[in-house]
């Protein structure tokens, strides 16, 4: 019975997943670092959804928070490239 309910739920949810579109970030230097590092832990939708708000200092703080508070294994050079990409392309 549980298997039947699970299959029914999956079947009903599948069309909703088909309409979901992958996020496309702005093509610019550093995008490869963002995709390789940031998408490993969360959706890149967060960048676009939050982009009207952060200024350069906030993007720097966000990258630092991901590394120091959440333990993202990002090299210093990559962190700098990520922060620069976010500031130039999604900063206010």
In this prediction the pTM is 0.74
In sequence order, which residues have a C-beta less than 8 Å from that of residue 87 and are 6 or more positions away? Answer: 56, 59, 60
pLDDT at 51 over 80: no
pLDDT at 87: 95
Q: Domains of the chain by range and CATH?
A: 21-90 (1.10.760.10)
**Mean per-residue pLDDT, 47-73:** 92
Both tokens of residue 3? 């298997």
Q: What is the pLDDT of residues 37-46, one digit of tens each?
A: 999 999 999 8
pLDDT band at 16 (very low <50, low <70, confident <90, very high): low
**DSSP letter, residue 48:** H
CA gap 64, 80 in Å, rounded: 10
């Amino acid at each position: 019975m549980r298997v039947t309910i699970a299959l029914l739920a999956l079947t009903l949810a599948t069309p909703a997943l088909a309409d979901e579109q992958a996020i496309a970030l702005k093509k610019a230097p550093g995008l490869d670092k963002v995709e390789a590092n940031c998408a490993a832990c969360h959706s890149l939708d967060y960048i676009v959804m939050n982009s009207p708000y952060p200024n350069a200092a906030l993007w720097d703080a966000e990258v630092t928070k991901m590394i120091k508070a959440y333990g993202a294994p990002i090299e210093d050079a990559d962190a700098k490239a990520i922060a620069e990409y976010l500031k130039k392309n999604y900063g206010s």
